[in-house]
Amino acid sequence: MHRSRVTACVLALAWAALASPQSQAQATAPAGAASAPAASTASGATAPAAARAASAPASAAAGQRVEITGGREGDTEARRRSTAAKIVIGREEIDKFGDASVAEVLRRLPGVTTPGAPGRGGPPRLRGLGSGYTQLLIDGQRLPPGFSLDSLTPEQIERIEILRAPTAETGARAIAGTINIITREGFRRRLNDLRVGAGFEHGATSPGLHWTRNDSIDDFIYNVSLGLFRPQRITDSESETLLTRRDDGSLVEQARGTLHSVDKRTGVALTSRLQWRLGDGGDNLVLMPHLFHNEGRTDRDFTRTQSPPPSPGDLFYDSGTSDTTSHFTSLRLGGQWRQRLSPSVRMELSGGAGQMRSAFDTMRDEFQNGVAGATRVTDDYGRTRERSFNLTAKFSGIAVAGAAPSAATAATAAAAAAAAAAAAPAASASAPAPAEHSLVGGLEVETIRRDETRVYTDNGVVQAGEFGDSFEASTLRLAAYLQDEWSLDAHWSFHAGLRWEGITTQGDAGDAGSASGETRPRNRSSVTTPLMHLLWKPDPAKRDQVRLSLTRSYRAPTTQSLIARPSINTRVPASGPGAATNDPTQPDTAGNPDLKPELAIGLDLAFERYLDGGGVLSANTFYRRVSDLMRRVTTLETVSWSAFPRWVARLQNIGDATTMGLELEAKYRLDQLVTGTPAVELRHNFAFYRSRVEGVPAPDNRLDEQAKMTANFGADYRLRGTPLTLGGNLNIVPGYRTQLADDRAVTVSSKRVFDAFALWTFNPAVGLRLLASNVAPRDYTSRNEFDYTDAGIGLRETAISRGQSYTNWQLRLELKL
């Protein structure tokens, strides 16, 4: 807490210095001006060329000359013009560290956290909240099933937008916020971008090659990206399980284990964007084929010791090995057609169809007391196929309040649209000038069909019942929305929307379930979400503004959490020899078709100051009231897959929760703070979070995986007179404890990840980059506690996992041909 106060004070002092009129007057050049197109996106961002043109007086004569100037705006300017609050990260910042994947870029962005060990991470999350609270989009569309962020390289990304509150157009499944990844459009200028390099971590080498080509033939523009990679990863970890009495703390049982894992994979990612311009009004047709394939093998060696020794007949091992082979293939074809129906109305159809296939096979051998030959051999095989289709129809246009558009206004709007299309082909709507409304409405449909087969054998015996059956599930999602963005005057801008979304999920009962008369599990839910955003500029001549958002958002249950077939804990068999009632610490898992979506009422209030010469200071507060919170609950049930009662863990709606926080961000140059100092680019962001789950005893009854704070400190500088650029970033997430229920708690250690890079630019077409990620690595520890009663004795099981982390070095040659 003391460190949190210190960092907050440091930021406050920097804020005061930068916000002073003297500091702003001293700024002379933009800080990190980006070359991203001034494109509107699904978030309602504004295209400045269109906005300037649309601001022409409505009373202009039909013969009046209208001059349109198109161009590009920086990331900071795009952020400032948007009515809905968002953070924009452009090409310059994306390229800065030379990351190998988009996932590595995301973990350094403001308010983003990743679970797991330092330097390894996982899916990006906003505001410290767990899985399902953050919405991930690609070009304004939800990630297709089976899509992996690892299949996208930073070279394919134009910019990344972080929306702190949802909009009707982007979708309301974003309680924590939305990360929208905008891919690069094709360029008419021919360009080959080649990057060859390798990563080195803990004795493993991971080579990679990424090639991107842009070119055009008349009105046809294409972009092709190819990535070849062969990552290797070596992991060492330790575990310890303690069973103690709750009354006196005496030790009942202790078990320790070690794990050594070697993972080797080979993959290819091939994507392209084929664009045909269909005239001068911004009409175009785009096709986006995508292929991603990944296959590999993971070998594990593990040991286990237990004190006191296990009882005769218990399933026990003191060493073992496992070998897993797996492959994953994703094929998808996306498309987009933009057509102008009138000078002020445009239609856009977008969609895609795809298929994902994956399979794995894990062979596990367990040994005991050095006896030759395995005492237990298991084989776990699974295969999954998922097919998906989605279609979105969107209409957008500009309407003049109180009057029909005149001929001059229509001509101005058409010219503005053409200019916006030239500067930003992806634009979907323009910011309205005073007395104009920018309307967007749309319909969405998405279908997903998933087929799974899983077979588990134990010492050659196939586990009977539902555990070995095939599984089918289907999901249908429908949505409709309407939103309006308008400006009352130079001070006030509004953004209001209404969205309805319904999801129907249905599975099958399986062969064993059908024989026993079980019905097909089915879940249907729908949510209506009103959303409002307000932008106020106290003095339009200055660069300060205040934002207010009042929204309703939700978190939908996943297909697996709704209708997943039972997964049996293999340490205590459910049928056959050795079948018995399992322990609550080793439960089976299953879906819950009665789950309801979480609903959240949200309030966001932000102040922003945009510095002369580039840079921004912002302070944002938020509040979310969540109802029908979903959390995993373990109960003793009479089940169809065993003759014995079994402890089963399922997600359940347990009640309500609240979360709130303060987010501070600063981007500026050092010479804006202190005159005469080097022009070092500085980036700081801090976030402080609090949450409370009702019905769970305090303290620490926070939402899952939400730390008390996060912080990032970043800087980079190009040395004067040399082709060398240096930079670094420090990410800090303090450790925290979460009380999940009356009888369960989890504690995780702090994470500090420092990344640094050096770029030597030989000429504009050749550069050599060195990246060190997770410098000075620290081990990562998690601790799970579970209280239960056995034979009238209160017990506590404590499971401790300690994982090592490592520094990852990457060396890359970058060529532009």
Rounded average pLDDT over 444-469: 80
Rounded average pLDDT over 790-812: 92
Query: Shortest CA distance to 693 belongs to which of 657, 659, 660, 740?
Result: 657
3-state secondary structure 321-371: EEEEEEEEEEEEEEEEEEEEEECCEEEEEEEEEEEEEEEEEEEEEEECCCC
| Chain position carrying tokens 């990424």 | 210
Contact indicator for 265, 294 with CB cutoff of 8 Å: yes
Architecture category of domain 2-262+287-306+315-394+443-458+500-816 in CATH: Beta Barrel (2.40)
Rounded average pLDDT over 541-567: 91
Give the least confident one: 11-15, 273-277, 280-284, 377-381: 11-15
Give the least confident one: 260-264, 464-468, 531-535, 593-597: 464-468
Peptide bond into 699 cis (omega under 30): yes
Distance of alpha carbon 403 from the chain centroid: 43
Give the least confident one: 446-450, 565-569, 621-625, 802-806: 565-569
Name the DSSP letter for residue 556. Answer: P
Quote the CA–CA distance of 246 and 318 in Å, as a whole number.
28
Contact indicator for 452, 468 with CB cutoff of 8 Å: no
pLDDT, residue 715, reads: 95
Query: 182: helix, coil or strand?
Result: strand
Strands 588-589 and 646-669: parallel
pLDDT in tens, 205-261: 999 999 989 888 888 999 899 999 999 999 999 999 999 999 999 999 999 999 999
Widest distance between CA atoms in the chain: 98
List the beta bridge partners of residue 255.
Answer: 241, 306
Query: Shortest CA distance to 556 belongs to which of 490, 488, 477, 635?
Result: 477
pLDDT, residue 419, reads: 42
Give me the chain's average pLDDT, please.
83
409: enclosing H helix or E strand: helix 407-423
pLDDT, residue 186, reads: 62
Quote the CA–CA distance of 348 and 673 in Å, as a whole number.
46
Query: Shortest CA distance to 712 belongs to which of 776, 781, 666?
Result: 666
- Residue 37 — pLDDT band, cuts 50, 70, 90? very low
Burial of 391 (0-12, 13-18, 19+ CB in 10 A): middle
CA distances from 97 to 102, 659, 716, 811 (A): 11, 33, 10, 11
Rounded average pLDDT over 290-297: 94
Across 79-88, 224-233, 496-505, the highest mean pLDDT is recorded for 496-505
pLDDT, residue 300, reads: 97
Instruction: List the chain domain ranges.
Output: 2-262+287-306+315-394+443-458+500-816
Percent of the chain with pLDDT over 70: 83
Peptide bond into 697 cis (omega under 30): no
CA angle 29, 35, 38 (to 5 degrees): 110
- Residue 113 — pLDDT band, cuts 50, 70, 90? confident
Q: Which amino acid is located at 343 in the chain?
A: P
Query: Shortest CA distance to 513 belongs to which of 637, 640, 644, 642?
Result: 640
Distance of alpha carbon 251 from the chain centroid: 42
Task: Could you list the beta-strand ranges (E) of 54-203.
Answer: 86-89, 112-113, 125-126, 134-138, 141-142, 157-163, 177-183, 191-201
Helix, strand and coil content of the chain, in percent to the nearest 5, comes to: 10, 55, 35
3-state secondary structure 614-643: CCEEEEEEEEEEEEEEEEEEEEEECCCCCC
Contact indicator for 488, 535 with CB cutoff of 8 Å: no
Q: Tokens at residue 140, please?
A: 């304004």
pLDDT, residue 692, reads: 96
Query: Shortest CA distance to 711 belongs to which of 662, 779, 658, 672?
Result: 662
Rounded average pLDDT over 487-511: 87
Quote the CA–CA distance of 101 and 559 in Å, as a whole number.
27
Give the least confident one: 122-136, 162-176, 441-455, 573-587: 573-587
pLDDT at 764 over 80: yes
Quote the CA–CA distance of 634 and 650 in Å, as a whole number.
7
Q: How many other C-beta atoms can be found within 10 angstroms of the C-beta atom of residue 412?
A: 26
Task: Could you list the beta-strand ranges (E) of 173-250.
Answer: 177-183, 191-201, 204-217, 220-229, 232-245
pLDDT in tens, 727-763: 999 999 999 999 999 999 999 999 999 999 999 999 9
- Residue 184 — pLDDT band, cuts 50, 70, 90? confident
Query: 101: helix, coil or strand?
Result: coil
- Residue 400 — pLDDT band, cuts 50, 70, 90? low
List the beta bridge partners of residue 519.
Answer: none
Rounded average pLDDT over 463-488: 82
Contact indicator for 209, 195 with CB cutoff of 8 Å: yes
Give the least confident one: 119-128, 471-480, 605-614, 618-627: 119-128
Rounded average pLDDT over 796-813: 94
